[in-house]
A and B are shown apart, each in its own frame.
Chain A
Amino acid sequence: MTRLDTMDCEFPETLADALELMADDTTRGVPLSGGTDLMVQWAGGVVAAPQRVISLAGLPELKGITLKDQCVVVGAGTTHAELRASEVIQARLPALAAAAATVGAQQIQARGTIGGNVANASPAGDLAPALVITGGAVVVAGVHGERRVNLTDFFKGYRSIDLRADELIVRFELPVNPDGSREMFRKIGTRSAQAISKIMAACRIRIEDRTIRSVALAVGSVAPTVIRLTELEAWLTGRVCDEDTIAEAVRRTVSAVSPIDDIRSTAAYREWVSGSMIRGFLDAFFNAEARERR
Chain B
Amino acid sequence: MAAVGTSVPRRDGREKVTGRTAYIDDMSFPGAWHGVVVRSPVAHGRLKGRHLDPAFDWSQVVVVTPEDIPGENLVHEIIKDMPLLCDDEIQYLGEPLALVAAPTKDLAREAAGYITFDIEELPSIQTLKEVIAQYKTDEGKLHKFCAQTIVKGDIEKGFEEADYIIEQEYWAGHHEQAYLEPQGLVAVPGEDGSVLIEGSMQCPYFVALELLPTLNLPPEKLRVRQAPTGGAFGGKEEFPTWLGGYVALMAMKSKRTVKLIYDRHEDIRYTTKRHPSWSRYKTGFKKDGAITAVKVEFFLDGGAYGTLSSIVLARGVLHAFIGYRCDNVFIDGRVYRTHSFPCGAFRGFGAPQAIWGLESQMDLMARACDMTPHAFRLRNAVVPGDTTATGQTLAECEACGTVLERTLEKCDFEAKLARCTRGAQDADTWYGVGLAFFAHGSAFTGDGEARFKAKAALDLALDDAERPVVLIRCSSVEMGQGAHTVLPQIVADGLCADLRFVQNPLPDTALVPNSGPTVASRTTMIVGNTLYGAGRKLKAKLEAYASARFFESQAAILKDSVFSAGHDRVDFEEVALAYLKEHGPVRVEHQYELDPKIAWNQETFEGDAYPSYSWGCNVVELEIDRATLQIEVKKVTGVFDVGRVINPMLAMGQLEGGFLQAFGYALLERIGVRNGAYDADRFQTYIIPTMLDAPPFDFEFMEYPYTFSPPGAKGIGELPIDGLSPAVANAIEMAAGIRMTEIPVTPESLFEALRKQVKS
Binding site for B on A (CB under 8 A): 1, 3, 40, 44, 188, 190-196, 263-266, 268-269, 272-273, 276-277, 279-280
Contact = CB atoms under 8 A, between A and B. Distances in A.
B55 interface: no
B633 to A, nearest CB: 10
Interface in B675-714: 679-680, 682, 684-685, 687, 689-693
B627 A276 contact: yes
B627 A280 contact: yes
A23 to B, nearest CB: 33
Contact of B265 (A44, A188, A273, A276): A44
A276 B624 CA distance: 14
Contact of B691 (A193, A263, A279): A193
Interface stretch (B4-12, B27-35, B280-288, B747-755): B747-755
Q: Which of B627, B691, B692, B693 has the most CB of A within 10 A?
A: B627
A266 B752 CA distance: 10
Contacts of B692: 191-193
B628 interface: yes
Given A263-B679, A268-B751, A191 B106 contact: no
B668 interface: yes
Contact of A192 (B682, B693, B747, B751): B693
B630 interface: yes
8 contacts: A3-B106, A44-B265, A188-B628, A191-B692, A193-B691, A266-B751, A269-B748, A273-B747
Contacts of A195: 687
Contacts, number: 57
A44 B682 contact: yes
- Complex A-B, nearest 7 residue pairs according to Cβ-Cβ distance, in ascending order: A192-B692, A193-B692, A276-B627, A269-B748, A192-B693, A190-B687, A266-B748
Interface of B: 106, 109, 265, 627-630, 668, 679-680, 682, 684-685, 687, 689-693, 747-748, 751-752, 755
A14 to B, nearest CB: 35
B671 to A, nearest CB: 10
Nearest to B110: A1
Nearest to B674: A263
Q: Which of B684, B689, B755 has the most CB of A within 10 A?
A: B684
Contacts of A268: 748, 751-752, 755
B628 A191 contact: no
B668 A190 contact: yes
A191 B683 CA distance: 12
Contacts of B691: 193
Given A188-B747, A190-B687, A276-B627, 10 more contacts: A1-B106, A1-B109, A188-B628, A193-B691, A193-B693, A263-B679, A265-B748, A269-B747, A269-B752, A277-B628
A193 B685 contact: no
Q: Which of B680, B691, B751 has the most CB of A within 10 A?
A: B751
A277 B627 contact: yes
B440 to A, nearest CB: 27
Given A44-B265, A265-B748, A276 B690 contact: no
Contact of A263 (B627, B680, B755): B680
Contact of B690 (A3, A40, A191): A191
A277 B755 CA distance: 18
A245 to B, nearest CB: 17
Contacts of B627: 273, 276-277, 279-280
A31 to B, nearest CB: 23
